Structure 1
Amino acid sequence: MTQARTLDDIRVEFDAPDNVPRDRIVDLSFANGSNPNDLVDPYEPFAWLNGPDIPRLLYNPPVRSGLGAISGSRRGNWVVSHYEDIDRVYCDNDHFSNAGTAEFQRLIGETFKSIPLAIDPPDHSKYRLYLMPHFSPARITRDIEPRIRKVVVEMIDAVADKGEVDMAWDFGRVYPVRIFMSLMGFPEKMFEQFLDWEWDILHSGTLEKMQAALRGVLDFLRAFIAEKEANPDEHLVSSIAHGKIQGRAPTEDEKIGMVWFLWLGGLDTVAATIAQMFRRMALQPDIQRRIRENPALINGAVEEFLRTQPILSSTRTATRDFEWHGVQIRKGDSVQCLNPAGNFDPARFEDPRTFDPERRANRHFTFVGGVHICLGAHLARRELRVLLEEWFARIPEFAPKPGSDTSVFPGLLSIRNLPLVWDTARMPGREGAA
């Protein structure tokens, strides 16, 4: 399926609602990160989906899994793959709602909302303003970056002389979660349990495992919030529990809604980005050489890694009946933004498949867009920038370990293992040493 190149290759029969033209019904599961490949650019198989001959609205049949139960996709969804249309879905809050997004907790009968992700304007802003100071660039520079750099240096130094590391499992999986747990104030002993719960919720595809993990994590989070209410500290969970939303204390549902949302969003996305970023550099060494020779490119390189590695494709719900691109959209219809196509739209990005760390106006959708743009975007960028700064200062040119599997799921599943190797004799400061 990853070699599909025309709509005829992916058209399917499905008893869709009567407002869906039959020629728009296609199976786009291959474009949602469920099929691995071993291409240097693993998102290349989706390139044609933003072409001028592709209808601006496609329709994907239902997802038959536990995820469908909370995403609205049991009845199928519209898909937009062109930059301009994705931008509208993310920014047009009058026609598209984020209510109900990623509310896995409903699978066990919970009714609290994931805050602020599943809250629409105007209420969204009060929660965003409540949390945003903890993720502002100034706060990250002042309070969080020293911790980020300390963790990065410690982790790199632990593997530098070994000449190899599993960048996905032993580094990418660990580094951002250590930062996140420190920010939230979670105990380090919960590290592996958190990742197990998160994997079962997002990736197991088994309703029983999802429900068990949800009960486990929500029981823990509620107990942790209660403990911080009794014993405040300087970390984020305590700040959420003791803060004021427009002059009032948050309700119990608001507290768990915010802490749950941060927990869910803080464990996976940066890890997947790191694994794909280092895989791309290992398979395309010219990129790492260019960054190493000119560290001033690091900020632009991070942005380009983000653009070319869109981990998620977000979904919105139509708030009313309306016509769009000659098609009737109905209230309640689900609309998915196919970021792996939009981030490479040639109508927006010149030579979009080329990795260009000097690209200007790099406004991609990896952090989504509109009012729901990722709350932790500044933190994620800083984690990636500091990682590259310290890595290139300590590690020479690296490559995949001979014989290793470099296949990748181009999405949130990403890469479980990525063994990299380098010549320790060529480490910075050692070249030419007698």
Structure 2
Amino acid sequence: MSASTATAPHPKSLDDIRVDFPDAPSHVPKDRIVDLSWTMGGVPNDQVDPYEHMGWLAGQNIPRLLFNPPAAGGLGAIAGGSATGNWVVTHYEDIDRVYCDNEHFSNKGTAEFQRLIGETFPSIPLGLDPPEHTPYRMFLTQFLGPATITRVMEPMIREVLDEMIGEIEDKGEVDMAWDFARVFPVRIFMGMMGFPKEMFDDFLEWEWNILHSGSLEKMQWALRSVLDFLRGFIAEKEKNPDQFLTSSIVHGDIKGRKFTDDEKIGMVWFLWLGGLDTVAATIAQMFRRMALQPEIQTRLRDNPELINGAVEEFLRTQPILSSARRAIKDFEWHGVQVKAGDSFSCLNPAGNFDPARFENPREFDPTRKGNRHFTLVGGVHSCLGGHLARRELRLLLDEWFKRIPEFRAKPGSDTSVFPGLLSIRNLPLVWDVK
């Protein structure tokens, strides 16, 4: 297989990204084959809106199905991609169908990195389809719904915020990405699961190697490390139950049937994988946007009732992930033949800005109505931790604006961002101490 790369880092038309892919499946039209690797978060930029250069892919003149050759390295299939390439949907309406049409699209096997070391348990519930998926989702939702978060999690979130903001408010500066965004949501997650605080650095190192290293050897080392820890932790909770979520899973049941060992590790592993850096990336991009566009800060400080809507706009305008699905059966869509087993990628950084769905899509509008974006995915596999993520972001903004005056990027600092999960490694912010 040979596929050339895009000729410009921020292409503006299909002609800029069409590539030759001789090994494409025979049912894929040649004029739909394009290189979309530049939309996957690996190319940094310093725009105030770092996703702006992807929006044209949701335009009316763009074919409704594009095809992207496989990524180099061969690891993409583990995250739901394909070794033979994948269809890419970029329009809101089509993304919505892929996420919601369980008759034609499957999520089975998604994010099962554990297969790289020979593990066979599924990631639960993400890697399962309805109806198998449903009882696990219902079981976990009782611990992650709004009422439980208000009663159990919000006091912990406020306590952590009070401590962390208190440590920096009189200093007049912080590395918002490394010292705050990287730490805050992980502390909440670890507290929710009952994980020991001393595992913080190990967790982040393992997670980084699994999701971001691109090295099979490092991924396998990290996978063995985390799964050895989680199995040992599960065994300890079997003997010594407590009030935290890991213990609730270990001693839980569905209609009176206790969970198997594979079900226990499948759920705890899935929560571990999803709980460490998605909110961190969102926070870093959120504060970068406010530092570069201070009128957003001013508006939210003066109108705190807009914070809830602002969180949805930050999420919509910062779609850090594009999720994958797989076709279950042969069917025709938009005049193109789809085959069972074909992989699909939903390009959220295009769909979230589709002008057919969102009026003035590039405008940051905290009063936007019906803001049903795809940053937390959609359908039955919408983000299980979505309620918790929203609460963390809302409480963070509320407490931050009460205690920290207008902030800005530290002069001379690099404000470039990888528009995706990698996001921002360092973001030095400064403010005038009263």
Range class of TM-score, shorter chain? over 0.9
The aligned residue for residue 13 of structure 1 is 20
Q: Deviations over 1:272-319 (max 9, x none)?
A: 000000000000000000000000000000000000000100000000
Deviation, 1:69, is: 4.1
The SS at the match of 1:237 is helix
Aligned residues: 425
Equivalence for 2:3:
none
Structure 1 counterpart of 2:399 = 390
Three-state SS of the structure 1 residue aligned to 2:217 is: helix
The 1-side partners of 2:73 and 2:379 are apart by 29
Other-structure match for 1:193: 202
1:334 maps to which of 343, 346, 351 = 343
63, 67, 71: which one pairs with 1:59? 67
Distance in 2, Cα, partners of 1:229 & 1:67: 34
Contact kept, 8 Å, 1:59 with 1:76, in 2: the verdict is yes
Aligned positions of 1:84-233 closer than 5 A? 84-233=93-242
Q: Give the match for residue 304 of structure 1.
A: 313
2: CA distance between counterparts of 1:276 and 1:66?
29
Instruction: Give SS of 2:253's match.
Output: coil
**Partner of residue 418, structure 1:** 427
Compute the displacement of 1:72 (Å).
3.5
Aligned to 1:49: 57
- The answer for the alignment partner of 1:350 in structure 2 is 359
Instruction: Report if the CA contact (8 A) 2:81-2:344 is conserved.
Output: no
Superposition map of 1:259-278 within 5 A: 259-278=268-287
How far does the alpha carbon of each residue in 1:165-185 deviate from its partner, in whole angstroms, 9 at most, with x for none?
000000000000000000000
Compute the displacement of 1:246 (Å): 2.2
Structure 2 Cα separation of the partners of residues 337 and 142 of structure 1: 35
Q: Are 1:317 and 1:333, in contact at CA under 8 Å, matched by a contact in 2?
A: yes
CA distance in 2, matches of 1:341, 1:232: 45
Q: Show structure 1 runs of 5+ residues with no match.
A: 426-434
RMSD, aligned α-carbons: 0.7
Cα displacement (A) at 1:74: 1.6
Partner SS, residue 224 of structure 2: helix
Aligned pairs for 1:69-84 (under 5 A) are: 69-70=77-78, 71-84=80-93
Q: Take 1:142 and 1:150, find their aligned partners in 2: how far apart are those partners? A: 14
TM superposition outliers: structure 1 runs of 4+ over 2 Å: none
What's the secondary structure of 1:4's corresponding residue?
A: coil
Q: How many angstroms apart in 1 are the aligned matches of 2:386 and 2:187?
A: 17
Alignment partner of 1:409 out of 400, 405, 418: 418
Structure 2 letter corresponding to 1:80: V
How far apart, CA to CA, are the structure 1 residues paired with 2:351 and 2:121? 32
CA shift for structure 1 position 66: 5.2
Alignment of 1:219-298 (within 5 A): 219-298=228-307
Q: Give me the whole-angstrom Cα distance separating, in 1, the residues matched to 2:74 and 2:217.
A: 9
What secondary structure does 2:430 align onto?
strand
Task: Provide the C-alpha distance between the structure 2 equivalents of 1:101 and 1:233, rounded to a whole number of angstroms.
Answer: 31
2:11 is the counterpart of 1:4: yes
1:364-403 matched pairs, under 5 angstroms: 364-403=373-412
**Cα deviation, residue 244, structure 1:** 0.8
Residues 90-129 of structure 1, C-alpha deviations (whole Å, 9 max, x = no match): 0000000000100000000000000000110001110001
**Preserved contact between residue 33 and residue 413 of structure 1 (Cα < 8 Å):** yes
1:56-77 CA-partner distances (Å, limit 9, x unpaired): 0000000122532413422100
Residue by residue over 1:123-154, the C-alpha shift from the partner in whole angstroms, topping out at 9 and shown as x without a partner, is 11100011001001000001100100110111
Matched residue type, 1:166: D
Cα distance in 2 for partners of 1:207, 1:159 equals 39
Paired residue secondary structure (2:119) = coil
Residues 1:28 and 2:42 are matched in the alignment: no
Contact 1:50-1:341 within 8 A present in 2 as well: yes
SS in 2 for 1:193: helix
Offset of residue 47 of structure 1: 1.1
Q: Deviation string for 1:229-257 (max 9, x for gaps)? A: 00000000000000111220001000000
Contact 2:10/2:38 (8 A) holds in 1: no
Q: Find the aligned partners of 1:72 and 1:156 in 2 and give their Cα distance.
A: 40
- Structure 2 distance, partners of 1:245, 1:170, is 40
Name the SS for the 2:159 alignment partner. helix
**CA distance change for structure 1 residues 66 and 177 in 2, over 3 Å: closer, same or farther?**
farther
Q: Could you tell me which amino acid in structure 2 is paired with residue 113 of structure 1?
A: P
Is 2:369 the counterpart of 1:360?
yes
